[in-house]
Amino acid sequence: MHKGIFITGTDTGVGKTFVAVGLITALKKLGYSVCPMKPVETGCRSLNGRLVPADALKLICAAEVDEPLNSINPYRFRQPVAPAVAADLEGVVINRQKIFSAYRQLSDKYDITFVEGAGGIMVPIWRNYLFLDFIKDLKLPVVIVARPGLGTINHTLLSIEAARNRGIKVLGVVLNDALKTGNDISVKTNPQVIEHIGRIPVMGKVAYFKNTRTYTYQKVFCQFAEKILSCD
Ligand SMILES: Nc1ncnc2c1ncn2[C@@H]1O[C@H](COP(=O)(O)OP(=O)(O)O)[C@@H](O)[C@H]1O
Ligand SMILES: [Mg+2]
């Protein structure tokens, strides 16, 4: 079992937070203590003069942890752009040691820590320091969340290749239907192509869920969580 797992995606909006919430909930049901981390969140709205990191808050609600927000989400920005760009625009220097030490403190305390990126794997956190570099420095394995339909083969294989080129372990891919694309011929054939060419398991296929309080939702994520737990 891995102590820390990084959830990345082929793009923004593919369902990283949705999948992380499902996994955290399932792992908790299975008896594990789980903590999330969202090192940098951009596009935060402002409420009473404070920035609200929506993803970090969803993850915290799922994990039901009582940790300082600044440990789980050390950096948050208003501008809806890559972290390095938002930091620059807002005159903030991102100190990666601050993120590392927050991660270490959390991961020492919990069975599993889930870290969600921002956008995809080659997004810059600070200047030319990418999420890829961060994942490598923390020696985290990754799960890639991808779209299920047309176009996903290219994006998913590129993400797998980029991770492997840096020596990062890819545990698997989750094909998540955030946009309710349904079940066309590409959706039916993509998993096999990704598994074959990517030499990687498609660990989960997550349908569009209008309602997450269903037995099917729980079952999908429990099965997925068991696969995550069995990875070494
Ligand atoms: N399988 C799904 N079923 C229903 N809604 C989903 C699903 N996956 C994602 N969504 C919704 O799509 C939007 C984008 O998903 P999100 O997890 O925020 O993406 P990301 O974290 O990759 O940017 C959110 O509103 C989320 O609730
Ligand atoms: Mg997200």
- Residue 159's pLDDT band, with cuts at 50, 70 and 90, is very high
Please confirm, yes or no, whether 16 is among the known catalytic residues.
Answer: no
Q: What percent of the chain has pLDDT over 90?
A: 97
Q: Tell me which DSSP letter residue 48 carries.
A: T
Interval between CA 10 and ligand 1 midpoint (Å): 13
Total domain count for the chain?
1
Specify the pLDDT at position 8: 98
Interval between CA 200 and ligand 2 midpoint (Å): 23
> 79 pLDDT exceeds 90?
yes
User: How does pLDDT run across 48-75, given as a tens digit for each residue?
Assistant: 999 999 999 999 999 999 999 999 999 9
CA distance 122 to 15: 17
- Residue 131's pLDDT band, with cuts at 50, 70 and 90, is very high
- From 38, 109, 188, 205, the catalytic residue: 38
Query: In this structure, which ligand is nearest to the CA of 8?
Result: 1
Interval between CA 52 and ligand 2 midpoint (Å): 13
Cβ(80) – ligand 1 distance below 6 Å:
no
Return the closest-CA partner of residue 170 out of 197, 201, 192, 196: 201
Return the closest-CA partner of residue 78 out of 68, 88, 69: 88
Cβ(206) – ligand 1 distance below 6 Å:
yes
Cβ(209) – ligand 1 distance below 6 Å:
yes
Contact between 163 and 177 under an 8 Å Cβ cutoff? The reply is: no
Cβ(178) – ligand 1 distance below 6 Å:
yes
**Mean of all residue pLDDT scores within the chain:** 97
- Residue 232's pLDDT band, with cuts at 50, 70 and 90, is confident
Q: 3-state DSSP call for residue 94?
A: coil
Can you tell me the mean pLDDT for 110-139?
98
Cβ(17) – ligand 1 distance below 6 Å:
yes
Q: How many CB atoms are closer than 10 A to CB 216?
A: 11
Question: How would you label 143-174 residue by residue, b for 16+ Cβ within 10 Å and e otherwise?
Answer: bbbbbbbeebbebbbebbebbeeeebebbbbb
- Residue 9's pLDDT band, with cuts at 50, 70 and 90, is very high
- Residue 25's pLDDT band, with cuts at 50, 70 and 90, is very high
User: How does pLDDT run across 175-201, given as a tens digit for each residue?
Assistant: 999 999 989 999 999 999 999 999 999
Can you tell me the mean pLDDT for 147-172?
97
Specify the pLDDT at position 171: 97
Interval between CA 49 and ligand 2 midpoint (Å): 22
Can you tell me the mean pLDDT for 33-47?
98
Specify the pLDDT at position 59: 98
- State the CATH number of the domain containing residue 210: 3.40.50.300
CA distance 103 to 25: 20
Q: What percent of the chain has pLDDT over 70?
A: 100
> 1 pLDDT exceeds 90?
no
> 204 pLDDT exceeds 90?
no
Would the pTM count as exceeding 0.95? Answer: yes
Query: Could you tell me the residue range of the domain that residue 147 belongs to?
Result: 4-229
User: How does pLDDT run across 82-113, given as a tens digit for each residue?
Assistant: 999 999 999 999 999 999 999 999 999 999 99
